[in-house]
Structure 1
Amino acid sequence: MIQCLRSFILFLVMILWLFSCQKLPDKQVVNTNVFSMNHPNFHSDLQYKIQKIYTDYQIQGDVVFAIVDSSGLAYSYIVNKDVLEKRPTKYNDESPLYIASHTKSFTGTLLKILEEQGEIDLNASVKKYLPELHLNDKIDLDRITVKQLLNHTHGLFNTQLAWKTAFLGYSGNNIELIEDFNNDFQYDSSHQFRYSNVGPILAAMIVEKVSGKSWKQCMQDEIFNPLQMRGTTTEVSDFEKNEIMPSYTIDGSNSIVNSGFFKDDITMHASGGVLSSVSDLSKWICANINQEKNLLTQESWNELHTSTTRQDRTYFTYHRNGYSLGWDVATYQNDTILTRFGGLAGISFHASFIPKKKVGIIAFSNDSRAYLLPHLLANYAYNYLFRPTHADSIFKKELALFQESFEKENEIRYPLQDNVLVVADSINPILGRYVNDKGWPDITLMTKDDHYIFKWGIQEGVVYMNGEAYQADLGVMQRDFLIENDSLFTGSLNYIKE
């Protein structure tokens, strides 16, 4: 009897051990399976449309698409030449991609978190937190609040700050940017909505003042870690650059003018400085859909998702009527939709969600001509889910808008390889370092192999002849310049040879 009881207990232990060793179904896998069962034809319908556009328009690079619901990632799909030619692709839901200006939604959320913690008062003045920003006492900064920095009604602008943080780089010290601002600024006293990178960057300086930590560290501590966004970062150096989905600038002959990822750690800022992945971004969109309490109270989430100022503009098919602290509040097909897009060179990033329907979209493309493609695909998915009988007819109308935009981009003329400036003794006097007395980064002209290189701050590129002027292809931009004697002129900037 005792032996039987021992055998029975041993049997139970074995069963329990075997059960514990079984891997429970992954929550994300379960959610994608549920979506697939509920919408059995969605993948084939979307796949057909994406692949047809990719082929018909000879798209280059990558197209990424995902649907998020209240349970997380529900669907994802990646298209590129490897996929179309049935080869393994290097990219998946964990691959790093640049979200550009969608960073602003993260920064707005961070400031709201710090307000809940009692670190920052969004209704307090900029002067309270940044007294060193005095603008030569020409503007009363007591009348501009931190909230206005986030919702783009502060009225302040500085070209150097915008260019140094986004493209050219700088010392990394906020004092340099503040001095630039104090010495040369523009101001719109109407305080109407005027979108730019400046406000969130100044807000990030305030974060650093009150927390004693960098904006980058606060993002990690207050948002990425709580949401377990382990593949999300504000540092390019956390990856090898060839791991990051690049941008492609494509000309009218379907040739690649340039490609790459044109950011470094120093140009990852509070208005455009986050690398993430489909997997991680699904956690972020899901947190917004569910207004998850591990980040914020419902009251704070409501302010993040509600207009704090008016705007009246249309982008593609979205009528933007307001702006919160980091999201455009818009309407699409009579639904209120929150969007925050982003772009750099050929990269176009889409993130949106419809609060009442608890569904969001993540989409990405990196062909410079196809910047509307993520929005077109997002709209198709929303219509497929919520207006299925009209989805195809709406898509057809919106495809015409995409085609019109694509054709305009195809007409842009880029430097021709035949016009590369070849090294010659008669041209070599232009070589050297040029400095600007207004604080702009140095420009260096040098040779590489048989051609010339124009280096401006952290950006550099090949020099071409453009009529009687020179033109540098810096990847993120083409920049014309002239040299007369020992002076270099580019746009309104004057440089002197050192």
Structure 2
Amino acid sequence: MKKTIAPFIISFLITVNLFAQTDTTQMLNSFIQSTLEISEIVPSVSVAIVRDTDILYLETFGYANWEQEQPATNQSVYYIASCTKAFNGLLAHILAKEGSIELNAPILNYKPFKDFKRKEVFQNITIMDLLTHQSGIDNPYLSFRLAYTGEYTDAEILKLIEEETQPNEAGKVFEYTNFGYYLLDYLLQAELGKDWRDLLDEKLFQPLGMNSSTAYASKVPADKLARPHGGIFKGEVKVSPLQKNDAVMHAAGGLMTNIEDAAKFLQFYLATGNGVYPKDLVENSYRQQVEAKHEYVRVFDGKGYASGWRIGEFEKEKIVYHFGDYAGYFAHYSFIPERNIGMAVFSNTDMGMTAANLISKYAYNLYLGNKREVKSAEKILYKKVSKALAQERKAQRAHEQKMAERTWNLSLPKKQYVGTYKSDNYGKVEISYEDEQLIVTAGNLKTVATAFPSENTMRVELVPGSGTIIGFDLKDGAVVSLFHQRETFIKVE
């Protein structure tokens, strides 16, 4: 049965003129309700708007679990993906203030890097370079294991870091990746004997009373978790099969929190430390370090990057912000220091970005008193969003139809492709045969393979919504290896 957000919010007629209402909270409620009803694709949205000492708005709408009709509340916990970088950037400044690390010191001064035999690639790189995405080096293998499969040991990751890290062609310029924060984690573990998860709890969550924030997925009560959702444009919104576990909660994107704790975090910045940490420490943590355009997002005009925060402009005001996007989740944190206002928006679908952008732009203009922009946001919602979503649904249906018409082009019976395949860099991929389907598993990832026209290939969505191709190598009538992500996996079983 098709569900809408309506059971949990007041029905709203599009013909209502929002600006005719005088109560700011009521206006924002109505706009959010309209956004969810028009989109019909966002299971839930959680919103906080704060000043340094005041909560201006704190509301949650929709479902934490669409299939079970479980309402989302202000206590519902969301995965915030890359917004984690702002927390670890702040952590680095706290540790530097305490004398545990020095932000402008070369990483070769610290373990594990100073113990590497292959040191040359890590020369002239500081901790600040890691925080600001300008180390000039990268590694293609870490995200697959740290963020998705969870199949690794620390020894394997350290080996990959030392042996497979390579210089970028452009050199030491801004290039947004997760890599610098991975390195920060292993530096902290080696030097301090604690990883970022426990340090954040000790240095930030406990002092700020953020009792629902954690870097351990296992610590989130099942009845509090806002479940990730997929299938948005397929007309079958459902809980995503890809769920976070402790092994894939990493330093570049590994926090879970609720909107109440998000409000506390933003107030910490607007109150420049709240007496917990010095004002200069807090301000330094979001001081721009490098120019960095951010053209992907239209809400803010991205100008630069600080220590885990993007720096930009909104209606000619300096704004500090970061977004987080992962299969089944979207998160937004931002604040305007000079206007003493900040906002967080969470959604339990990666397609929540459109809704979050609409809501955040409208809300900022509403609370800043920009009446013309408020009216413009209403027109965009009613006249453009529905049309854009309809076009997206049409395109998705055409794509699904095209894939459904594909036929298999395997040289051997499907059962002969079953086995365990291994790459030293990526780990294991296992293929099984169930109910006449090929099932592909890589650690925390699991999917049903579908046909692809090229000979001895198949399509997989190990990460929901992101299709890739697996190809097979045959020798003497038997499968000997597979090729995926530009890597060969040898069949070992």
Aligned length: 452
Q: How does 1:366-377 map to 2 (within 5 A)?
A: 366-377=348-359
Correspondence for 2:427: 441
Q: How does 1:226-305 map to 2 (within 5 A)?
A: 226-240=207-221, 243-250=224-231, 252-256=233-237, 259-305=240-286
- CA deviation after TM superposition for structure 1 residue 388, in Å: 3.8
Q: 1:102-155: per-residue Cα shift (whole Å, max 9, x none)? A: 00000011111111111000010011113357583443x341110110011111
Correspondence for 1:483: 472
Asked if the contact 2:331/2:346 (under 8 Å) is kept, the reply is yes
Partner-residue secondary structure (3-state), 2:47: strand
Asked if the contact 1:369/1:409 (under 8 Å) is kept, the reply is no
Asked if the contact 2:326/2:350 (under 8 Å) is kept, the reply is no
Mean Cα displacement is larger for which, 402-411 or 247-256? 402-411
Partner-residue secondary structure (3-state), 1:381: helix
- Structure 1 distance, partners of 2:416, 2:192, is 50
Q: TM-score, normalised by structure 2?
A: 0.84
Correspondence for 1:4: none
Correspondence for 1:176: 156
Larger radius of gyration: 1
Distance 1:439 1:116, change over 3 A: same
- CA deviation after TM superposition for structure 1 residue 50, in Å: 2.2
Partner-residue secondary structure (3-state), 1:372: helix
- Structure 2 distance, partners of 1:323, 1:108, is 11
Q: 1:394-441: per-residue Cα shift (whole Å, max 9, x none)? A: 3147547766874675434359689899xxx931111111112x3211
Alignment-mate amino acid for residue 41 of structure 1: D
- CA deviation after TM superposition for structure 1 residue 101, in Å: 0.4
Asked if the contact 2:185/2:251 (under 8 Å) is kept, the reply is yes
Distance 1:350 1:406, change over 3 A: farther
Give aligned-pair identity as a percent: 22
Find out whether 1:392 has 2:378 as its counterpart.
Answer: no
Match of 2:300 among 318, 321, 325: 318
Distance 1:434 1:201, change over 3 A: same
List runs of 5+ in structure 1 lacking aligned partners: 1-38
Distance 1:245 1:418, change over 3 A: farther
Asked if the contact 1:420/1:462 (under 8 Å) is kept, the reply is no
Find out whether 1:143 has 2:129 as its counterpart.
Answer: no
Mean Cα displacement is larger for which, 208-217 or 328-337? 208-217
- Structure 2 distance, partners of 1:493, 1:83, is 37
Distance 1:261 1:76, change over 3 A: farther
- CA deviation after TM superposition for structure 1 residue 306, in Å: 1.3
Correspondence for 1:120: 101
Correspondence for 2:39: 57
Asked if the contact 1:257/1:414 (under 8 Å) is kept, the reply is no
- CA deviation after TM superposition for structure 1 residue 63, in Å: 1.7
- Structure 1 distance, partners of 2:95, 2:135, is 20
Q: 1:252-275: per-residue Cα shift (whole Å, max 9, x none)? A: 442337624532101101110000
- CA deviation after TM superposition for structure 1 residue 69, in Å: 1.6
Q: How does 1:50-89 map to 2 (within 5 A)?
A: 50-80=32-62, 89=70
- Structure 2 distance, partners of 1:414, 1:371, is 22
Q: How does 1:403-482 map to 2 (within 5 A)?
A: 406=389, 409-410=392-393, 411-412=395-396, 413=399, 426-436=413-423, 438-449=424-435, 451-468=437-454, 469-476=457-464, 477-482=466-471
- Structure 2 distance, partners of 1:339, 1:408, is 30
Alignment-mate amino acid for residue 490 of structure 1: H
Mean Cα displacement is larger for which, 487-496 or 222-231? 487-496
Alignment-mate amino acid for residue 201 of structure 1: Y
- Structure 1 distance, partners of 2:305, 2:227, is 29
Mean Cα displacement is larger for which, 261-270 or 463-472? 463-472
- Structure 2 distance, partners of 1:356, 1:80, is 33
List runs of 5+ in structure 2 lacking aligned partners: 1-20, 474-478
- CA deviation after TM superposition for structure 1 residue 461, in Å: 1.5
Find out whether 1:496 has 2:485 as its counterpart.
Answer: no
- Structure 2 distance, partners of 1:177, 1:164, is 9
Asked if the contact 1:260/1:475 (under 8 Å) is kept, the reply is no
Match of 2:167 among 180, 187, 194: 187
- CA deviation after TM superposition for structure 1 residue 195, in Å: 0.7
Distance 1:486 1:137, change over 3 A: same
- CA deviation after TM superposition for structure 1 residue 157, in Å: 0.7
Mean Cα displacement is larger for which, 68-77 or 346-355? 68-77
Asked if the contact 1:258/1:475 (under 8 Å) is kept, the reply is no
- CA deviation after TM superposition for structure 1 residue 467, in Å: 3.1
